[in-house]
Amino acid sequence: MSVRTVELIELHCVDHCNNNCRWCNSHSPFAPDRTYDAEEYYPWLDALVRNRIGFSMLSISGGEPFLHPRIFEFCQKLRQRYAKRLMLSTNLFWLSEFDIEFHRPLFGLLHTLRVTVFPNMVRGLGGLERVQKLLERLKATSPHVYVDVRLAEEHFCRLEFTAEPLDVNQHCPCAESVNLLVDGRLARCAPGAYAHFSPHAIQEFRDSTDMFYDLRQPDADFWHWKYKWPMDACSHCTHFRQERSQWKVESGTRRRRELEARYNLNLGAQLEQDEPTPGILRRQNEALIVATPPEVRAKLPAACLHGNVYYMPRRQGLHARE
């Protein structure tokens, strides 16, 4: 029996994000912190393989994947088990000379790094020219990776929900991929897969009977489900119209500083394993990561500590003691 193939299976390694974009397809600004292990996806990816439903590429997204504390291991496990091309999406908040070097083993696992360039991240990274220079460096140090760069300004489409059914008169690119959730459901598009996070997704949209295919009880024909168009959900969602919009910030809590501090701490902790001597391990933007001797550690705020590693925002004034 031959194997039919879907191009892309998309899955989250985290749900949360340090950015706060309006019309985020994964509704990440509303998602609680959630970090996934690769093993959580094994039963369902194995089920696809068993049922001869092929996939050419695994797309690892979120949320912001670089917030996963063990993103290398996450990707490595999927790569080793399924031997498929991997794509990783990111908002680039981590971009620096240091991080390009640090993440080289991760880039070694990837086929594509999908980068979306956001105005607020560009500001934090020191301007567009610096971002471009760093991306050139990344391409030069990991030449086998296809770095697919998109500008948020050109990329965002309105994602709104309406109780009054719309006439769906064109195809929606969101429905090209298949989204796998850890509970064993597949969803036809990301906005539907993660609608449970969004306070804006209306009941008519959530009640869709076309959106999910349940691998725990696969009683329908997969290919019929995959290619049905339009879905009932589409008539309550504006995304098929592909109305481009300027990038905008979603209302609500912003957790950028906290989540990026956690990323820095995690990197500092990994570095400390290789270099256990107390001292400055890493400088980036507004932060220092310092491995601390025990007598100093006792006096530091717990929120800034991760093992022996201390994260110091420069605004606390500690940079004066470098």
- Considering the complex, state which of residue 238 and residue 270 has its C-beta at the smaller distance from ligand SF4: 238
Q: What residue has token string 């995959």?
A: 226
Give the three-state DSSP class for 163.
Answer: coil
Q: How far is the CB of 258 from ligand SF4 (least distance, A)?
A: 15
Q: Interface with ligand SF4 includes 59 (CB under 6 A)?
A: no
- The amino acid at residue 46 is D
Sheet holding 4-12, edge to edge: 146-151, 112-117, 85-90, 53-61, 4-12, 178-180, 185-187, 212-214
Q: Interface with ligand SF4 includes 19 (CB under 6 A)?
A: yes
Q: Interface with ligand SF4 includes 213 (CB under 6 A)?
A: no
Interacting stretch for ligand SF4, rule CB under 6 A, among 7-15, 39-47, 122-130, 187-195? 187-195
Q: Interface with ligand SF4 includes 26 (CB under 6 A)?
A: yes
Q: Interface with ligand SF4 includes 67 (CB under 6 A)?
A: no
Q: Characterize the bridge pairing of strands 112-117 and 146-151.
A: parallel
Q: Interface with ligand SF4 includes 66 (CB under 6 A)?
A: no
State which of residues 38, 63, 75, 292 lies at the interface with ligand SF4 (CB under 6 A): 63
State which of residues 237, 259, 267, 281 lies at the interface with ligand SF4 (CB under 6 A): 237
The C-alpha atoms of residue 276 and residue 281 are separated, in whole angstroms, by 10
Q: Interface with ligand SF4 includes 124 (CB under 6 A)?
A: no
Q: What x-and-dash track marks residues 265-294 binding ligand SF4 by CB under 6 A?
A: ------------------------------
Judge contact between 80 and 113, C-beta under 8 A.
no
Judge contact between 190 and 25, C-beta under 8 A.
yes
Interacting stretch for ligand SF4, rule CB under 6 A, among 43-51, 62-70, 95-103, 266-274? 62-70
* 32 DSSP 8-state letter: P
State which of residues 178, 189, 215, 291 lies at the interface with ligand SF4 (CB under 6 A): 189
The C-alpha atoms of residue 219 and residue 204 are separated, in whole angstroms, by 24
Taking every pair of Cα atoms in the chain, the longest distance, rounded to a whole number of angstroms, is 68
Q: Residue 273 contacts by C-beta under 8 Å, 6 or more apart in sequence?
A: none
Judge contact between 184 and 11, C-beta under 8 A.
no
State which of residues 234, 265, 267, 289 lies at the interface with ligand SF4 (CB under 6 A): 234
Residues that bind ligand SF4 (CB under 6 A): 17, 19-21, 24, 26, 28-29, 62-64, 91, 172, 174-175, 189, 191-192, 231, 233-234, 237, 239-240
